[in-house]
Amino acid sequence: MERNVLLARILLLVLCAILTGTCFYRLNESYDPLARYPYATEKNRETILEYMDARDIDYIISQQIRPSVFMDFIKIPGFNIRLANEYHLAKKTQKESDAYIVNFVNKYSNYFTSSELVDLLTYYTYADLTTFYENDATTTKKLTLASDPTDKYLILDSKTSVYRYQPSNLVSQDSIQIQADVLDDWNEMQEAYKAMWNGESLSAISGYQSYDTINESYIALENQYGETVLNRFQLPAGQNEAQLGYTIQLIDPTVWIDACQANQNDDGTYNYENAIKSLSQSQQNQIVWLEENAYRYGFVIRYPKEKQNETNMAYQPFVLRYVGRKAANKMWKNHVSMEKMDFEEYQE
């Protein structure tokens, strides 16, 4: 009797297992992976199911990603739904083939966030970004590309580059180019200087310089002075603020470098007082006047004498940077370098 009961129970369990399996099979056959995806349509359903696995479908459901974000790219080899937003933003910001965009984003996505990608593609071409990431953003150079090179207060240094960026609002004044919003204050400062020194002009030898111009000059100066000396006075192309259009150089840089080199202390530092005395009287007058008055017209000495540990550059009284009158006034009164200045309240 007990044996029959046991067999009956086993048979019942087997039947239940078969019934359960059959039910799950039928349910699985009728299960719609896109049932919880509100954006599935007859038009896109087949493509999504063909090119996405279960994990990808779960991702678009959990993140509520609309088909308009990824459908242009879904059939391209290498497509990654987790980078779909970057593909979409890249295409909206700067046109290229869908395949090119997928390859570009897949390869370089570790260099930028979604918001940074929009800024980068606003100011740089895909080709320039590719070249930069392949050559300059390396483990040896460790350069970061400035996402907004139009920022009036952008600081370039040994770690930050704008690569081949060219400003769009340049105007010509005499023999130089500068940003349009610098022009009026530059003209007014020139007139004030001329009135102070009986018609003597405050002229500039350069304003904006292109990547290629800076690169050519840098190579020539490096051959002349050596990299160690030059890097105290100049930065390479892409990292040189002359490329921004807000910097004005008043004399040939070799004049000041030579003066400093000729008045070098035993510890390798420079005797700037003696270096200044070795210059012409006109150049000495410029230094004194600029130190006391440039801020009134929105300019600061970009590399001040007392802030070398902050700028990591030698004192350069003939290199002016335009920051606007309010910011320049505050910097002058508080003896603040650009590196330590909070420009947030002056951002437009």
The last residue of a domain, from among 120, 135, 150 = 135
Q: For residue 267, what are the domain limits?
A: 160-346
Shared domain for 229 and 299, answered yes or no, is yes
User: How many other C-beta atoms can be found within 10 angstroms of the C-beta atom of residue 79?
Assistant: 20
User: In 211-259, which ranges are E strands?
Assistant: 247-249
Shared domain for 284 and 187, answered yes or no, is yes
pLDDT in tens, 19-35: 554 444 444 434 689 99
Shared domain for 175 and 278, answered yes or no, is yes
pLDDT of residue 7: 60
Instruction: Quote the CA–CA distance of 190 and 185 in Å, as a whole number.
Output: 9
Shared domain for 130 and 167, answered yes or no, is no
pLDDT of residue 6: 59
For the chain (length 348 residues), average pLDDT per consecutive 10? Answer: 60 56 43 89 94 96 96 97 97 97 97 94 96 82 90 95 95 94 97 91 94 97 96 96 98 97 95 97 96 98 96 97 97 96 85
The last residue of a domain, from among 80, 101, 135 = 135
Instruction: Quote the CA–CA distance of 164 and 21 in Å, as a whole number.
Output: 65
Contact 218, 236 (CB under 8 A): yes
Shared domain for 82 and 208, answered yes or no, is no
Token pair belonging to 302? 């970009």
Question: What separation in angstroms does the CA of 125 have from each of 71, 102, 230, 306?
Answer: 24, 15, 30, 39
Instruction: Quote the CA–CA distance of 109 and 129 in Å, as a whole number.
Output: 12
Residues 6+ apart with CB under 8 A from 307: 337, 339, 340
pLDDT of residue 310: 96
The residue type found at 165 is Y
Say what the pTM is.
0.84
Shared domain for 128 and 209, answered yes or no, is no
Shared domain for 127 and 189, answered yes or no, is no
Question: What separation in angstroms does the CA of 221 have from each of 239, 277, 278, 295?
Answer: 16, 24, 21, 30
| Pair type for strands 299-303 and 247-249 | unpaired
Shared domain for 196 and 307, answered yes or no, is yes
Shared domain for 230 and 96, answered yes or no, is no
Give the CATH number for residue 303: 3.30.1380.10
Q: How many domains does the chain have?
A: 2
Shared domain for 172 and 302, answered yes or no, is yes
pLDDT in tens, 193-247: 999 988 888 989 999 999 999 999 999 999 999 999 999 999 999 999 999 999 9
